[in-house]
Amino acid sequence: MDGDEIARRKGLTFAQAEGLSPLPTQLSRTEVTPELRAILWRFIHDEMTRSPSSGGFGAHVGTTWSKILRNVHVLHYHRFTDDISTELNEATKSVRAVFEKGDYAEIYGWLQFVLRHQPPPGFARQIEARLKQCRSPYRVIAEDTLCPIGSDLEAVIVGQALKDLTRSSLAGGREHLRAAITHLSDGDFAGSVRESIHSVESVVKVLESSGDFSKALSKLEQKTNIHGAMKKGFIALYGFSSDEQGIRHPLLEKEAPAVDEADALFMIGACSAFLSYLVNKSRTAGLLA
């Protein structure tokens, strides 16, 4: 048995390596397996019970997780603050129910809320590792956003775009890109395509105030030496989002725009890559500090 075969078998169960069970594949966007539930919950449970404020019976959740759970209770679920219990056993039961019985939206929604409200150090990295381990299609982008992706490369591209849009003048583009991620997670693929292209529009208008998208890109082409093929390709993508009924204009004859998950994944990746390209080209040309 050569080294490649040994490496292949190490990542599989005995039955999978012998061809008796199907090989593992990436989960669908809405799929939550028992493995994913159990592994995520083990990590959250260990975090919550690592440093209770007092030992023995009646121990309470430590200060960090007490604050997190209170924020989840009030700001995520919109429940009254005096209804929450920080008694360790009750608190873990409440959170366990999310991972044991919740659907994909409940589980990922809970995780994303925590990611955005002062999680413990290293929380995002640990969640990311477990999502990869369980073949989840979601990745942690820019430390605080869960995004469905087609590949790990797409996760890097979207994450880099969000980082490149951290300047206050580009905040509109960043919010549109985050909205595209949210729509994609919710299964609103046309909405995701719309917000992806809006993110590019927003940044283009900051760099070049012309209201016409193609004219603005033409001016930026001259100022930043954008490759002509890049400009033409993106104008073509812009045309797709403008022409498909229901994406950028009200539905007329069709009941729904002919946009699926593959289209939305492609657009969010393409727009993210173009945003980073555009921002960095503009910085080199002196249009951005």
Note the pLDDT of residue 251: 39
When pLDDT is averaged across residues 162-191 and rounded to a whole number, the result is 90
Range picked from 161-170, 173-182, 195-204 for highest mean pLDDT = 173-182
| CB within 8 Å of 187: residues ≥ 6 apart | 29, 30, 261
State the pLDDT at residue 289. Answer: 67
Helix axes 261-284, 152-164, angle to 10 degrees: 40
CA distances from 258 to 150, 217, 223 (A): 20, 27, 36
Residue 6 pLDDT greater than 80, yes or no: no
**Gap between the Cα atoms of 161 and 221, Å rounded:** 20
The gap from C-alpha 269 to its chain's centroid, in whole angstroms, comes to 12
Backbone φ and ψ of 140, nearest 5°:
-85, 115
Q: How far apart are CA 17 and CA 56, in angstroms?
A: 46
- What pLDDT is recorded for position 152? 83
* Per-residue b or e along 233-245, where b marks 16 or more CB atoms closer than 10 Å to that residue's CB: ebeebbeebeebb
Q: Which pLDDT belongs to residue 232?
A: 80
Neighbours of 257 (CB within 10 A): 20
In angstroms, rounded to a whole number, what is the distance separating the alpha carbons of residues 98 and 93? 9
Share of the chain above pLDDT 90, in %: 39
Closest by CA to 282, choosing from 212, 226, 234, is 226
| Cβ atoms 91, 100 nearer than 8 A | no
Average pLDDT value for residue range 150-173: 88
Q: Determine the average pLDDT of the residues in 243-250.
A: 46
Q: CA separation (Å) from 197 to 118, 136, 176, 248?
A: 30, 26, 8, 10
Using pLDDT thresholds of 50, 70 and 90, give the confidence band for residue 51. low
CA 221, CA 127: separation in Å to the nearest integer? 41
- For residue 171, pLDDT over 80 is answered with yes
Q: Which two tokens stand for residue 161?
A: 């775009």
Q: How many CB atoms lie within 10 A of CB 74?
A: 14
From residue 136, how far is each of 141, 161, 171 by CA, in Å? 14, 22, 29
Residue 222 has pLDDT above 60, yes or no: yes
Structural domains in the chain plus CATH codes: 25-136 (no CATH), 138-289 (1.20.120)
- Rounded CA-CA distance 253/208 in Å is 35
What pLDDT does residue 84 have?
87
Give the predicted TM-score (pTM) of the model: 0.75
Give the H/E segment covering residue 262.
helix 261-284
CA distance 255 to 242: 17
35 contacts 134 by C-beta, under 8 angstroms: yes
pLDDT one-digit tens code per residue, 21-44:
554 567 888 999 999 999 999 999
pLDDT-derived band at 277 (thresholds 50, 70, 90) equals confident
Instruction: Place 45 in a pLDDT band, splitting at 50, 70 and 90.
Output: very high
Residue 233: per-residue pLDDT: 80
Confidence of residue 59 (pLDDT cuts 50, 70, 90): confident
Q: Quick one: average pLDDT of 84-108?
A: 92
Q: Is the pLDDT of residue 8 over 70?
A: no
